Every structure is written in C-alpha cells, then in structure tokens.
Structure 1
C-alpha cells in the first residue's frame, strides 16, 4: 500500500530535504546498508551515504544523511556545480524508491504485532525499509550473481563486474561506480566475462538478460504494466537464467510487489530456524503454515527476517 503523496523534496540552500513517513528510521536502514562490507556502489562516512546516482548520461554524486534538525533525509550534491532541476528531480525519485519512502507500513506493523516471529523482527529493526534496487538490470544481475554461492563471493563478483564494465566517477578525490547498463554488456561474449571468475552459465545469463533489456523486449515498465504478480513471475521465469528465487527477489527488491515470496530462500529458512530454536531447517510446508498470516506482506516479512542474519 502506498501512502498519500507528500512533497517530494524541499530545497534548503545547497541541499534538498525529503520528508519521511512515521515508520522510518534512517539509522536502521543505514546499518543494513553498511553491513555489506564489500559493497562497491556506495560508501559510508560518519553517518552519511555517498553514491553516484545514474541519471541517463549523467551520474551526480550525492551525500544522503539524516536531517539533524527536522525529521527527514538530506540530499547534498557534491562537486562544483549543481545538476539541472530535472536531474535533481530524478535523483530525488531514485532515493525515494531506494528507501521505499512511499510505502505505508502501518498495515504491516499491525500484522506483525500478531505474529510471534514478525513481532520480534519489527521490535528489533523498527523503521527498517525494504531497501530496493531501482534498476531492473542491476536487480536481475544481482540475483543471477548470487545463485548457489555465498553472499561474500557474490559481492566479490559484483565488484569485479562493476569495476570492469561500469561507469567510474571521480568526485572530490573519491572514486564512485555505477552499475553497467544493459548496453554495456549486451555486445559482450561469454569470453569477455570469463576472467571475472564466474561460471560460464552466469556469463551467458547476464549477456542474455542485457540483450533483452537493450532491445526493449524486457523492461521495468513492461513488468509493472502487468497487474498480476503470478503473471509477472511467469514472465521473469521465462527468461533464461531466472528461476523462481531470482524472479521473486526481483519482484521484492525492484518491482516492489509486496506479495512476492521467495519461499525456498536459504536465508529465510535459516532465520526461521534460528528464531524458533530449531535443530534443522523448516520444511516448505512448515514455512507455508508459519506464513499463512503474512498475506499481502510476504516480501516485507521475508526482508525483516533476513535482517536477523544479514
């Protein structure tokens, strides 16, 4: 459920201020992001997040931090010149989408208070948002890179891919990267990706997805224009390299469909095992029984339970 629109941003001198909903904690989201020690697309310093935000041919670098006086988020553009108002508006849109600021979490919190597992989660991580991946190619690629390997190695593969084929931005003495575009990858062969040390299959999958996106045969707009989650899942699973887990990951983190549910996810299994003090992982029927009351909020339930591990 999306909440009523607030003014997207207010210009206060050299920075923009974004209003945030009541059920939002910048600190919780900062801690979640900072937990990824080998992340290559943003960096952290003294409570601020620094990131190059891709906007067409531009990639303005911004500082994102909690407003120290008023409740909200501050976006400050680094460098010598402010980007155009249109680019600033796109950066605001990106940040709102990244932090899922337009989601009304009150119904989820009411649901969570009636569920033993989720009540512990919303108490421990109050104000956490499902931190998104607004770019479809990045979201699918991250899902493919993470298949059947541990999280640490997935981040290593992502860094190799980004630093080989992404855009390098130098600003105020620091280097930032943006994720490769589909056009950057679509014309490559599997051999061009082989020294990144990922499997041949993953190389093939990445190039294939890039070609679909570059040709316009697959797009975020196309998927969001399909009004049924199962239809969207079916479209994604029809793409070579995308199985049910990757499809639901993309549905959660990019397309923001709250009913997406990666029921076979190992992290979800491990979180339930830990929280319930089990000696074995729960079976799929047990997970389906546990999640019977999560209807409409499966993606947020999963994300909050993941947070106990990651």
Structure 2
C-alpha cells in the first residue's frame, strides 16, 4: 500500500526526528524502516513504514491475515497520513520562515520535517500529563511503564509491538493500580483516570475540541480539566488537534532553543518571545516544532 507525499516532505528527516526519542515504546526503528502497531476500531495490526523514492510512503502489513480488508487498509492509511501530517501545505510556512531570524536556519537544516503528531486524544493528553515537571528521559520511562502495564502487545516475527492503553481501559482503574505501575505521583494518577473517564463517557473528544472554533476556546475547554494547564492544553492542540496557532509559549525547550539560535546569555522573556514570534501567525505550532528540533 502506498501513500503519496507532498513535495515539502522528507522521510529521512522525520525518521531522524523519531530516532531522537529515548526509550520509545510505541514504535521501532530498524535500518530506515518504522514498525508500529496501529488499532483500527476493534482490530489491531502491525505495519512497516518506509520511503519509496521521494514521492510515496510505503506501508507493509506484518503477518496480517486480514491485510486485504478495505476497512483495515483505509484506517491504517488514515492513521499514517495523520501521524505524518501529510495534509498540511508547508510551502507558506517556508516562505514566511526564510526571512525569520529564528526559523531561517531551522527550515534549511530540517527541510521536509513534519509535526509528527499523536492522533489519539487520550494518548496526547497522557503524554502531556506524564511529562509535567520532570525531564524528558524520565517521561519516556514513565510512558513505557504505563504502556507495558496497561497497553496491548502484538507479537510479530518474534518482537512485541505495543498499543497505547485506551481511555476505556484506564477509566475503570484505581489510583492504587496506576501507582503500582510506577506512576510517580498520586495527582498524576488521578488526572490520568479523570481524563480517561471523560473520554470514555463522551464528554471530551477531538470533535468537541475542533468544534470549539479557535485555539483560545479549545484551550478554555481543556484547562477546565484537572491536570491540564495552558502548556498541556497547547501541546495537545498542537500535536493532536493540529491547530496551527497552538503555541506552548511557556515551554522550557522552546526557551532553550531560542537561546541557542540567537546566542543569548539567558533564556528569553515571554515579552521577547511574543516580539520574536509576531510574524508567525497561523504557524506558531510549526515554528515551535522546528525550534524544538534543534534540541530533540
């Protein structure tokens, strides 16, 4: 199965970005190929994702007896399309960024990089909550514990590939069960369960957030939920909802990236960041992602 890619796309750049993740539990990289478990409704499968020249992404099912199912093939294709953000036209972003002091080097260094997202809302929120107030390495450790304790493993060719736990699975758990799995604080356990219940009950969904109309209204909806502050809200809106104006302006990584690019002695103030980003309108999300790439 093949998916055409835009001209402003580089499989190698996105593969390199994925390779920076430490202790990643939800995909495996081997010799230029990405292996990932994907769930389509009630069916789960494992695929190999590779580049075919510069014009296609090729998807191969691994030991999948139902590989010819139209529903499965369409669902996997949609997931990969969304994961790589293939529907976004980056030409206007590159046109804007080529004269921007912060971004002009980034778009040359990482040309073709996509804001590789987190299509599942619960997974995106969990990653935001798990990563609060800890370093990135430990956040990946917590994520792996969470996934391997409560997720589903698919065995293919002697290797296990993991699916992220669903909201429905976590909604019925207790704080004690999450704590036993190594989640470090009671509050984080409560936040993960509370969010899972909201999604499982249908009171929180991607559709509802998209219908909010704009990033400010969607942020208001999210920050009403325990454990979700402005940073987590914008992270979710950026990585899952693909809202182009999502802007986690208080992110430490963004501050360090700006400091690095401009050669500053200290991290920039919020006022300075707002001044520097004045020309990024509708591209704040991609600008942040490209600046992060200098560090991650």
Q: Settle same-fold status: TM greater than 0.5.
A: yes
After TM superposition, give the deviation of residue 197 of structure 1 in Å: 3.8
Query: Does residue 264 of the first structure (1) align with residue 285 of the second (2)?
Result: no
Q: Distance in 2 between matches of 1:212 and 1:267?
A: 30
Query: Does residue 279 of the first structure (1) align with residue 295 of the second (2)?
Result: no
1:174 alignment counterpart: 159
Give the counterpart of 2:170 among 172, 182, 185: 185
After TM superposition, give the deviation of residue 229 of structure 1 in Å: 1.4
Q: Distance in 2 between matches of 1:89 and 1:220?
A: 20
- The Cα offsets for residues 236-277 of structure 1, whole Å up to 9 and x where unpaired, read as 011111000000000000000000000000000000011111
2:133 alignment counterpart: 148
Q: Distance in 1 between matches of 2:161 and 2:233?
A: 29
Q: Distance in 1 between matches of 2:157 and 2:147?
A: 21
Q: Distance in 2 between matches of 1:235 and 1:109?
A: 31
After TM superposition, give the deviation of residue 278 of structure 1 in Å: 1.0
Counterparts of 1:102-117 in structure 2, within 5 Å, are 102-117=87-102
> What TM-score results when the alignment is normalised by the length of structure 2?
0.98
Give the counterpart of 2:63 among 73, 79, 84: 79
Q: Distance in 1 between matches of 2:62 and 2:205?
A: 31
After TM superposition, give the deviation of residue 167 of structure 1 in Å: 0.7
1:213 alignment counterpart: 199
1:300 alignment counterpart: 286
**Aligned pair count?**
294
After TM superposition, give the deviation of residue 37 of structure 1 in Å: 2.5
2:275 alignment counterpart: 289
Counterparts of 1:230-269 in structure 2, within 5 Å, are 230-269=216-255
Q: Which moved more, 1:194-203 or 1:257-266?
A: 194-203
Is the Cα contact below 8 Å between 2:257 and 2:292 reproduced in 1?
Answer: yes
Q: Distance in 2 between matches of 1:73 and 1:38?
A: 25
After TM superposition, give the deviation of residue 80 of structure 1 in Å: 4.6
User: Over aligned residues, Cα RMSD in angstroms?
Assistant: 0.9
1:60 alignment counterpart: 45
Q: Which secondary structure state, in structure 2, belongs to the residue aligned with residue 116 of structure 1?
A: coil
After TM superposition, give the deviation of residue 82 of structure 1 in Å: 3.4
After TM superposition, give the deviation of residue 54 of structure 1 in Å: 1.2
- The Cα offsets for residues 175-205 of structure 1, whole Å up to 9 and x where unpaired, read as 0100000011001111111121421110000
| Structure 2: runs of 5+ lacking an equivalent | none
Q: Distance in 1 between matches of 2:46 and 2:111?
A: 29
Give the counterpart of 2:78 among 90, 93, 104: 93
2:148 alignment counterpart: 163
> What TM-score results when the alignment is normalised by the length of structure 1?
0.93
Is the Cα contact below 8 Å between 2:6 and 2:55 reproduced in 1?
Answer: no
Q: Distance in 1 between matches of 2:14 and 2:201?
A: 35
Shift of the 55–274 alpha-carbon distance from structure 1 to 2, 3 Å rule, reads: same
Q: Distance in 2 between matches of 1:202 and 1:56?
A: 28
Q: Distance in 1 between matches of 2:34 and 2:86?
A: 16
